Structure 1
Amino acid sequence: MNILRPDPPPNLRDSPPAPPQPARDDEIDIGHLFLVAWKGKRWIALFTVLALMVGAFIYANTPRTYQADALIQLEDRGGRLALPEAMRELVESSTTAETETQILSSRMVLGQAVAELNLDWVVQPTLAPLIGSMVSRYPIPLPDHDLLRRYARPGERLTLDLLQVPPEWLGEEIILTVTPEGYRITTPDERTHQGHLGETLGLSDIGFALNVQALEAPPGREFRLRQISMLEATTRLRNNMRGSESGRQSGILRVTMTAPSRAEAARWLDAALNAYVRQNIARSAAEAERSLEFIRQQLPQAEETLRIAQDRLNSFREEAAERALQRDPALEGGEDAEANFVTQSLLSQISRLETNLREIAQREEETRARFSETHPLLRQIQQERESLENRLSNLLDRVQDLPATQREIISLSRDVELAQQIYFELQSRAQEMQVLQASAVGSVRIIDTAEPQRNPVAPRRNLILAVSLLVGGMAGIAFVLIRNWMRKGVQDARDLEQMDLPVFATINYTEHADFKHKRMDNLPILALTEPDDLVIEGFRSLRTSLHFGMLDAPSKAIVLTSAAPEAGKSFTSVNLAVVAAQAGQRVCLIDADLRRGQLRRYFNLPREQAGLADILARSAKLKETLLPTGVEDLFFIPTGRYPPNPSELLMRRELTELVHELDREFDLIILDSPPVLAVTDPVILGRATGTTILIARHSVTPLGEVEAVKKTYQTAGLRLAGAILNGFDPRNAPAAGYGYGYGYGYGYGYGYRYAYKPRKG
């Protein structure tokens, strides 16, 4: 029998293939992601709490912004223009909300508000770094240190009565420091000047003047003063103001203004609206003045036209009377009077019909603006107009039948009446415009004056906290998923089987194996303390798989190893040994970790107990180190005293002789070895026994480490017989199913930290 051959026993090497596994795809497994996130709920909660704290800090440290709003009514200005009806459309105009909004935000209007409120003066307290806004608003105690004394505190303010700077200092900061006597300023040219409250500090040589009206701050506080250009101040005010029409074509304009305080928001908006109303009234008065001037220019012309028409009519009548007398003096009192009567009657009717037609035309225009072309009222008005036009046409036809003299008289009389109507209407409109000019009220009026809202509009607390909660939760989930992805540990048995490693069993996670008292010298054995736990069923399944797989094996010894610490080799070794002994097998458990072996703690043995190292060093016999464990048919060989040269000690032939001797007395020999990637001891043990099983920890052991273990054994001419998936957690497993192998079970591996250094004793 050649125990040192490189290949594992034939029955383990040629074990039947694993059950077929469902093929993996690239689809996102939502169930698995949810389970991973649920497992990392503490991380998610931590990120969420931190994000909420950041959000609360941002909210507390953000300056408040308040808003005031007002309503103004826009009226049509066309009806205010005092012009004759026939001329009104030449200068008539209407007011729109968009036009008035642009006028309201113009420099002409806002410039007046800036000048009235001195908004080109900027006064800002010096704020502490990072938390300055919060310190200036809340009573946060700060040490009374010289470096912190200049930063603003709640309730402090500075009010200016005058600030004038030379043009080259526009936009430059002037540092004002409060002193016991008053204040001290540092100008942009780095000169300092002393000032007193209520007194004007003037520098006539450069055109600078400053007068502080009120100062409520202790000595040491700093304020930063600036005078900005009128254009910049107007732009700032415009950016804080919004105007929009309330409803479609309602003529009601809603205007809002934002500012750092409620009082300033109302004051700024009132100033802007008052300036807007003043310019509107001035514009209305100017329009009335222009209209009156236009009418006055037209009155002489209309008067001259009327005089000419009257002169022509009178001259024609005189000429007609003279011709009639010269032709037949007997007609003066007879037929001529009758003709004049007919002429006057026709002229009166024609004038009345023309007046009615003008009124009908005005009604038709107003009705067409309100209703559609098919509306009955509009059709009725059109029928009336057609009737009047027909009557007028008939009268004009009758005029054509009159003698030439009467026709000319009618034509001249119509010219006189039209000129009179225009002249009298211009005079009436001139009087109306004089009254309108004297009492101009504009085309807008303020319905609701500026009223600030009680709560600030920014920052929005609920929105900030909601966004913080969302961002924190998403960041926590992302952290958990990325952390899980970066681990790239073994997720189920399929990962190992795809690497040509048969999985003998899957040992699930159990809380009973989470030993918080690791430093105790009497660690509990789960197979004895919790024999009914499902984890123990996993070990029984592993025992069955190994029993039938090693029927024809040349050696009954197996080595349990792992790629790195924390895989649970010791936990697996001791519980597998117990369940095998409980099944009637004679089992020998050997702690082959000659560097940091801790199996003795499961059996409450002292560290000085002789063991494997003493056997290999020939300082002790097998009978002296083979110890009963209290479990029937289970014997234990501890590590003994840690040797300084474990690898060299294991390479001695005494190890092979020990395995041969134990093969004759025991049915199963289990060697708990150190991790493969840490030391070379497992490879040496594998040559002596012929069978090595790798312990892989679920979600902990990277696949790359498993591949590295395989290459290590291949380089040494050996082969891993299979693997055990330990610590499998279904809550963090792929949704396709639990991992499984030839044996199925549940459990969790007890891990510990390795520090591979020679240890004395």
Structure 2
Amino acid sequence: MAKEPQAIDEDEIDLLQIALTAWKGKIIIATFAVLALMAGAFQFARTPPTYQADALLQLEERSGQLALPSAMQDLVDNSPQSATEMEVLRSRMVLGRVVADLNLDWRVASVKAPLIGEILARHSLPIPDIGFLSSYARSGDSLTLALLSVPPRWLNQEIELEVTGDGYALTLPDGQEVSGTVGTLLSLEADNFAIHVDSLNARSGRQYVISQIDELTAINSIRAQIAVSERGRGSGILEVRFMGGNRGENVRILNAVTQSYVQQNISRSAAEAQSSLDFINTQLPQAESTLREAEAALNNYRQRQVAIDLTFETQNILTQINTVESQLAELQRQEDEVSQRYTTSHPVYRQLLEDRQRLELRLADLRSQAGDLPETQREILNLSRNVELAQRIYTELLTRQQEVEVLRASTVGNVRIVDSAAAGRFPIAPSKARVLIVSLILGLALGVGVVLVRNWMHKGVQDASDIEKLGLPVFATISYSAKGDTHGNRRDSLGVLAITEPTDLAVEAFRSLRTSLHFGMLDAKSRSLAITSTHPEAGKSFTAVNLAVIAAQAGQRICLIDADLRRGNLRRYFGVERNRPGLADILAGDADLESCLVRGPVENLYFLPTGKYPPNPSELLMRNNLATLVTTLDSYFDLSVFDCPPILAVTDPVIVSHSVGTTILVARHVVTLPGEISAALKAFEAAGSKMNGAILNGFDPRKAKAGYGYGYGYGYGYGYRYQYKQRRD
């Protein structure tokens, strides 16, 4: 069973055809690309450069020098908290100090020319410094302030400064105008305003805008230019970057930020030490008082008991009790550490529990022995223990006080500057290569879009009915043949489709055209036919050659004349040299018909080339020699086919139409516009001639639908210049 032919998907996008359309519009695309590159270069030139300064900070572990028991200090996480420190570095506490130290709330901006202001301010261009241009900033201009103080009501408001011959003139926010000199303080006590211009390097007439912004705005501005990140997770190394338009200013600001951050870190560490010292100082008097009370109680009891001292046995028990209690305290500390790593069933943990149980039993036994002592000895034992305990606490507090005082005096914090601020030599933005590449891509995309939209809007004829609606009958519809499409072929020799592919559908259409013309020319005054088109590449030469071959194959004597005296190329189908005499020579009287005719590749077919391109083709065609030639051809041939140039390019087809019997217009499917056909008809009517019919060439069923926007990529308009071809000697 035969397989049915696969249907063509009408919605399929023909990428190859789109590529061909874009290639046909390569000049437009290249123009847009060049314009985009120029716009990108201009934008790059007028965009101020952005430089980056960077610094490295190291966050060290906190040493845990606070007045806490060792067991509690082990519970404190001393690892560097990078995320926390990043936020601290960008806090108002740190940046506010930088703003205050460097006066970053002062703003000084030169007035720049529109569009090219940044270029003028950065480059020394040969533009005259006259007229209105004298007020705009130029390369090398500068103004620095030593002092600026404005009242609160003038915060964030602009103060205009204009350079004068002997100093400067200010226009204050309230409209008041005052003058000052460089290096001298200018103050208005009534308005709480003061300004000191430290240096001014600019020509007279230059203008500046000065303002003092509020602290929060200044801090937010600096914060927006700072970026902080950690190098490696958990490394404790912070990379701080500052981006701005001035390399030196970037380094100065970033150094101030890192120094402010280090100072606040030291202050935080010193504050912790001071807090610990304050706590110790509050406990020392109480510990001392407890020690004095315990000593007084022991001394009073001894005096009442007539200076009774501890016996050797009692002293031994007291020593053992203190020793066991110290061992129990040490075991408790060890148990706190072991409990973080092992369970109670682990041998190490079980050993600790057993040791503690043994010591507790020993302590209970010692306390039982102390209970068996005489009453006086027991009392002295208890009082002595109180004195020793109070003495030990007081001594530890004194020792800790001295340690914390040393710590406070030598506090350095846990932040260290590894690399101070440094700025790269080249700006990080804008990137010249990136700007130009993006501009080129956008230009190419825009150019391709314009070409495709332009081609889509170029809605050519879709079928024969579009031509017939204009009042022009259609003799035949020639299907598109890829084998017969010679567009872009630069070879000197071209093949004739009717000879190389006699079974092609387009060839069958030419046979139908031959029949239609046979009956359509019965009443014609001459057996001659002129073929033209509205624009180049419509296929008129292709039509003329194949029609002539088909008619000759049917037994008719055919003469094919290349009537394009400007750019005729039919000789390429027949292998005729350029300088062979032809139509132009006959019309000029320099040659006769028989000497110019060339036998064609099939029997009964003759070819008359253009001859030498004349300087006045229209005037040459208007001579009576053309009508005489047509009459002579009628006597020798059954059909003479004149291949004429496009009607919208030159008037030659109208002139030829007065001498021949029939004139036919070739329109190309989805390429030739209906408006072009109407213009061609009006051109013939204005000359008193008539177009007898049309041929629809290059019909492609895949593109034969309403609104199909693109054709074969031939974007010719009415302005196409049909110029002479230069002959080669």
* Fold-level similarity (TM above 0.5): yes
Code of the residue aligned with 2:229 in structure 1: it is S
DSSP 3-state at the match of 1:27: coil
Cα displacement string for residues 347-380 of structure 1 (whole angstroms, at most 9, x for unaligned residues):
1441341242255246548xx4xxx5589xx968
**Of the candidates 723, 730, 734, which is equivalent to residue 696 of structure 2?**
723
Asked whether the equivalents of residues 477 and 509 of structure 2 are also in contact (C-alpha less than 8 Å), the reply is no
Question: Map of 1:95-106 to 2, 5 A cutoff?
Answer: 96-106=81-91
Paired position in structure 1 for 2:485: 508
Asked whether the equivalents of residues 694 and 724 of structure 1 are also in contact (C-alpha less than 8 Å), the reply is no
Structure 2 CA distance for partners of 1:454 and 1:412, relative to 1, 3 Å: farther
Paired position in structure 1 for 2:239: 254
CA distance in 2, matches of 1:284, 1:707: 92
Cα displacement string for residues 241-282 of structure 1 (whole angstroms, at most 9, x for unaligned residues):
122222223222221212221110011111222222223333
State the shift of 1:110 in Å: 1.5
Paired position in structure 1 for 2:401: 430
Structure 2 CA distance for partners of 1:504 and 1:563, relative to 1, 3 Å: same
CA distance in 2, matches of 1:447, 1:640: 91
Asked whether the equivalents of residues 559 and 671 of structure 1 are also in contact (C-alpha less than 8 Å), the reply is yes
Cα displacement string for residues 261-304 of structure 1 (whole angstroms, at most 9, x for unaligned residues):
11100111112222222233333333322221111111222334
Structure 2 CA distance for partners of 1:544 and 1:447, relative to 1, 3 Å: closer
- Is 1:202 matched up with 2:176? no
CA distance in 1, matches of 2:475, 2:585: 39
DSSP 3-state at the match of 1:218: coil
Structure 2 CA distance for partners of 1:588 and 1:348, relative to 1, 3 Å: closer
- Is 1:180 matched up with 2:151? no
**Of the candidates 344, 361, 380, which is equivalent to residue 318 of structure 2?**
344
**Of the candidates 444, 452, 459, which is equivalent to residue 423 of structure 2?**
452
- Is 1:239 matched up with 2:224? yes
Deviates more, 1:168-177 or 1:464-473: 464-473
Question: Map of 1:610-629 to 2, 5 A cutoff?
Answer: none
DSSP 3-state at the match of 1:28: coil
State the shift of 1:231 in Å: 1.6
DSSP 3-state at the match of 1:175: strand
Code of the residue aligned with 2:358 in structure 1: it is R
Aligned residue pair count: 634
Asked whether the equivalents of residues 570 and 750 of structure 1 are also in contact (C-alpha less than 8 Å), the reply is no
CA distance in 1, matches of 2:336, 2:171: 72
**Of the candidates 248, 263, 280, which is equivalent to residue 278 of structure 1?**
263
Question: Map of 1:671-690 to 2, 5 A cutoff?
Answer: none
Structure 1: segments with no counterpart, 5+ residues: 1-18, 326-331, 514-525, 594-598, 610-625, 644-657, 710-717, 735-747, 756-761
Deviates more, 1:20-29 or 1:170-179: 20-29
Paired position in structure 2 for 1:697: 668
Asked whether the equivalents of residues 351 and 414 of structure 1 are also in contact (C-alpha less than 8 Å), the reply is no
CA distance in 2, matches of 1:383, 1:550: 116
Cα displacement string for residues 582-605 of structure 1 (whole angstroms, at most 9, x for unaligned residues):
867433679999xxxxx9x98227
CA distance in 1, matches of 2:77, 2:596: 114
Paired position in structure 2 for 1:442: 413
Asked whether the equivalents of residues 24 and 715 of structure 2 are also in contact (C-alpha less than 8 Å), the reply is no
CA distance in 1, matches of 2:463, 2:519: 31
CA distance in 1, matches of 2:284, 2:72: 13
DSSP 3-state at the match of 1:149: helix
CA distance in 2, matches of 1:347, 1:454: 74
State the shift of 1:554 in Å: 3.9
Structure 2 CA distance for partners of 1:561 and 1:77, relative to 1, 3 Å: same
Question: Map of 1:8-407 to 2, 5 A cutoff?
Answer: 23-77=8-62, 79-85=64-70, 96-307=81-292, 337=311, 339-340=313-314, 343-344=317-318, 346-361=320-335, 363-364=337-338, 368=340, 373=342, 382=349, 385-399=352-366, 401-402=368-369, 404-405=371-372
CA distance in 2, matches of 1:627, 1:639: 24
DSSP 3-state at the match of 1:155: coil
CA distance in 1, matches of 2:173, 2:193: 12
- Is 1:485 matched up with 2:456? yes
- Tell me the C-alpha RMSD between the 2 structures: 5.4
Structure 2: segments with no counterpart, 5+ residues: 468-473, 522-526, 565-569, 571-580, 600-604, 609-616, 623-629, 681-690, 704-713, 722-729
State the shift of 1:169 in Å: 2.0
State the shift of 1:476 in Å: 3.1
CA distance in 1, matches of 2:353, 2:414: 38
Structure 2 CA distance for partners of 1:282 and 1:558, relative to 1, 3 Å: same
Cα displacement string for residues 630-675 of structure 1 (whole angstroms, at most 9, x for unaligned residues):
3567699x999999xxxxxxxxxxxxxx99x999974335477997
CA distance in 2, matches of 1:185, 1:535: 86
Q: TM-score scaled to structure 2, two decimals?
A: 0.71
Cα displacement string for residues 137-186 of structure 1 (whole angstroms, at most 9, x for unaligned residues):
11112123211111111121111111222222222222222222122222
Code of the residue aligned with 1:442 in structure 2: it is G
Higher-RCO chain (CA-CA 8 Å, sequence separation at least 6): 1
Structure 2 CA distance for partners of 1:549 and 1:749, relative to 1, 3 Å: farther
Code of the residue aligned with 1:237 in structure 2: it is I
Structure 2 CA distance for partners of 1:228 and 1:545, relative to 1, 3 Å: closer
Cα displacement string for residues 709-761 of structure 1 (whole angstroms, at most 9, x for unaligned residues):
9xxxxxxxx998963339x9xxxx99xxxxxxxxxxxxx99999799xxxxxx
CA distance in 2, matches of 1:437, 1:24: 85
Q: TM-score scaled to structure 1, two decimals?
A: 0.68
CA distance in 1, matches of 2:515, 2:334: 121
Structure 2 CA distance for partners of 1:417 and 1:468, relative to 1, 3 Å: farther
CA distance in 2, matches of 1:164, 1:441: 36
Asked whether the equivalents of residues 588 and 669 of structure 1 are also in contact (C-alpha less than 8 Å), the reply is yes
Structure 2 CA distance for partners of 1:142 and 1:433, relative to 1, 3 Å: same
Asked whether the equivalents of residues 157 and 217 of structure 1 are also in contact (C-alpha less than 8 Å), the reply is yes
Paired position in structure 2 for 1:743: none
CA distance in 2, matches of 1:450, 1:389: 58
CA distance in 1, matches of 2:512, 2:201: 93
Paired position in structure 2 for 1:470: 441
Structure 2 CA distance for partners of 1:544 and 1:751, relative to 1, 3 Å: farther
Question: Map of 1:564-603 to 2, 5 A cutoff?
Answer: 564-566=534-536, 568=538, 571=541, 575=545, 585-587=556-558, 603=583
Deviates more, 1:180-189 or 1:576-585: 576-585
CA distance in 1, matches of 2:36, 2:273: 64
Asked whether the equivalents of residues 479 and 697 of structure 2 are also in contact (C-alpha less than 8 Å), the reply is yes
Structure 2 CA distance for partners of 1:190 and 1:663, relative to 1, 3 Å: same
CA distance in 2, matches of 1:580, 1:203: 104
CA distance in 2, matches of 1:581, 1:508: 21
Asked whether the equivalents of residues 577 and 587 of structure 1 are also in contact (C-alpha less than 8 Å), the reply is no
Paired position in structure 2 for 1:6: none
Asked whether the equivalents of residues 667 and 695 of structure 2 are also in contact (C-alpha less than 8 Å), the reply is no
DSSP 3-state at the match of 2:144: strand
Asked whether the equivalents of residues 510 and 550 of structure 2 are also in contact (C-alpha less than 8 Å), the reply is no
